Structure 1
Amino acid sequence: MKTFLENYWVVFLSQLTCWMLIVFNIGVAAGYIVVIGEIFEPLLPIIKVYIPFLDGPMRITSAIWACVMLPLACIPQVSSLRFVSVVAIASTFVISGVITYRFFAPLHPPATQESHRVKYISLSRRMVLTLPILMFSFDCQTLVFQLYASIAEQTRKGMRKVSILSVGVTGTVYFTLGLFGYLSNTPHVSGNILANYDPIKDRLFAVGDVMYSFTVITAYVLVLFPCRDAVFILLYGYSTATHESYHGAIPTLDNLMATCLLSIISLLLALKAPGILFIIALLGGLCSSSFCFTLPAAFRLRLHALGVTPASSRELFVAFVMLSLGCIGGVMGTAVLITGMS
Structure 2
Amino acid sequence: MTVDSDSGQPIGSVALPSPANNAILPEHEPRIPLSRAQSIRNSIASEHFFEEDVTEPTGTTLSSTINLANTILGSGMLSMPNAMAALGLVFGSLVIVFSACMSGMGLYLLSRCARRTPGRDSSFFAVSKLTYPKAALFFDAAIAIKCFGVSISYLIIFGDLMPEIASALGFPTQLLLSRGFWITVAIVVLIPLNFQRRLDALKYTSFTALLAVVYLFVVVAMFYFTPTRKPLPKGDVVLFKWSKEFFTHLPVFVFAFTCHQNIFSVYNELRDNSSKQVNGTIKLSIGSACAVYQWIAILGYLTFGSKVAPNLLTMYDNGPVITFCRLSIAILVLFSYPLQCHPARNCLDKVITGIWRACSKEPTFEAIVDEDEADNAPSTIAASDEATQAPVVHVMSPAKHISITFGLMLLSYVVSMTVTSLDLVLSFVGSTGSTSISFILPGVFYYKMHQNTRWTRMKVVSVLIALYGLFVLVFCLGANISRVINGDL
Question: Normalising TM by the smaller chain, what interval?
Answer: 0.7 to 0.9
Q: 1:224 aligns with which of 341, 365, 370?
A: 341
1:38–1:195 CA contact under 8 A, matched in 2: no
Distance 2:201 2:184 in 1: 24
Aligned residues: 322
Distance 1:178 1:245, change over 3 A: closer
* Alpha-carbon distance, 1:279 to partner: 2.2
Aligned partner of 1:85: which letter?
S
Which of 52, 66, 72 is matched with 2:193 structurally?
A: 72
Q: For the residues of structure 1 that align with 2:158 and 2:349, how far apart are their CA atoms?
A: 28
Aligned to 2:150: 28
Query: Aligned with 2:273: secondary structure?
Result: coil
Q: Identity across aligned pairs (percent)?
A: 18
Residue matched to 1:3: none
Structure 1 unaligned residues grouped into runs of 5+: 1-5
Q: Per the alignment, do residues 80 and 121 of structure 1 end up closer, same or farther by CA in structure 2, a change over 3 Å counting?
A: same
Distance across 2 between alignment mates of 1:316 and 1:25: 28
Task: Give 1:311 shift.
Answer: 4.0
Whole-angstrom CA distance in 2 between matches of 1:156 and 1:8: 21
Query: Which structure: larger Rg?
Result: 2
Q: Deviations over 1:252-292 (max 9, x none)?
A: 34322211211232333344546343122111111111111
Q: Distance in 1 between matches of 2:284 and 2:181?
A: 35
Counterpart of 1:202, as a letter, is G
Residues 1:54 and 2:176 are matched in the alignment: yes
2:291 maps to 1:147: no
- Answer whether contact 1:26 1:265 (CA < 8 A) is retained: no
Check whether the contact 1:89–1:215 (CA below 8 A) recurs between aligned residues.
yes
| Distance in 1 between residues matched to 2:420 and 2:171, nearest whole Å | 29
Q: Distance in 1 between matches of 2:130 and 2:299?
A: 52
Determine if contact 2:184/2:413 at 8 Å carries over to the other structure.
no
Q: 1:124 Cα shift?
A: 4.7
Q: For the Cα contact (< 8 Å) 1:39–1:194, is it kept in 2?
A: no
Correspondent of 1:160 among 274, 279, 285: 279
Residues 19/40 of structure 1: CA separation in 2 closer, same or farther (3 Å cut) = same
Higher helix share: 1
CA distance in 1, matches of 2:141, 2:169: 39
**TM-score, normalising length: structure 2:** 0.60
Cα RMSD over matched residues? 2.9
Q: How does 1:58-137 map to 2 (within 5 A)?
A: 58-105=179-226, 109-110=228-229, 113-116=230-233, 117-137=236-256
Change (3 A) 1:319 1:7: closer
Residue 294 of structure 1 pairs with residue 460 of structure 2:
no
TM-score, normalising length: structure 1: 0.83
Whether the 8 Å contact between 2:257 and 2:286 is mirrored in structure 1 is no
- Contact 1:48/1:55 (CA < 8 Å) preserved in 2? no
> In 2, are the aligned partners of 1:40 and 1:60 still within 8 Å (CA)?
no
Q: Is the 8 A contact 1:21 1:227 kept in 2?
A: yes
What is the aligned partner in structure 2 of residue 212 from structure 1? 329
Q: Name the amino acid aligned to 1:194.
A: L
Give the deviation of 1:8 after TM superposition. 11
Which of residues 330, 333, 341 in structure 1 aligns to 2:473? 330
Q: Which residue of 1 aligns with 2:311?
A: 192
Contact kept in structure 1, 2:163 and 2:176, CA below 8 Å: no
Cα deviation for residue 14 of structure 1 reads 0.8
